């Protein structure tokens, strides 16, 4: 069973090491490793490197930036602007 608690991910009671890679999360336990793609879009457009946090619900990626590239703002505006 996979569990998320107190900043640690475990499987069948064994801790899993986590590492954030470009567009993926790498998991390692014992001699096994797995890379899980993270659909964050175009990493070149992100204004910062996300941080990975273990929360009771799973994994959380956070990104905070003061300057957002124009291409990202244009895309967000197109998606939230009312049509018609």
Q: What predicted TM-score, i.e. pTM, was given to this entire model?
A: 0.60
Q: Which residue has the higher pLDDT, 67 or 13?
A: 13
Q: Where are the alpha helices (DSSP H) in 1-84?
A: 70-80
CA atoms of 3 and 16, how far apart (whole Å) = 10
pLDDT over threshold 60, residue 84: no
- Neighbour tally for 3: CB within 10 Å: 14
pLDDT in tens, 8-64: 898 888 899 998 887 788 999 888 898 988 876 665 666 677 788 888 888 888 877
For CA atoms 29, 36, 68, 60, the dihedral sign is negative
């Amino acid at each position: 069973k996979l569990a998320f608690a107190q900043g640690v991910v475990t499987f069948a009671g064994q801790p899993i090491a986590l590492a954030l890679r470009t567009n993926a999360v790498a998991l390692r336990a014992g001699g096994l490793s797995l890379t899980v793609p993270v659909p964050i879009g175009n990493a070149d457009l992100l204004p910062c490197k996300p941080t990975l946090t273990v929360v009771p619900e799973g994994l959380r990626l956070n990104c905070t930036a003061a300057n957002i590239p124009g291409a990202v703002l244009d895309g967000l505006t197109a998606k939230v602007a009312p049509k018609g």
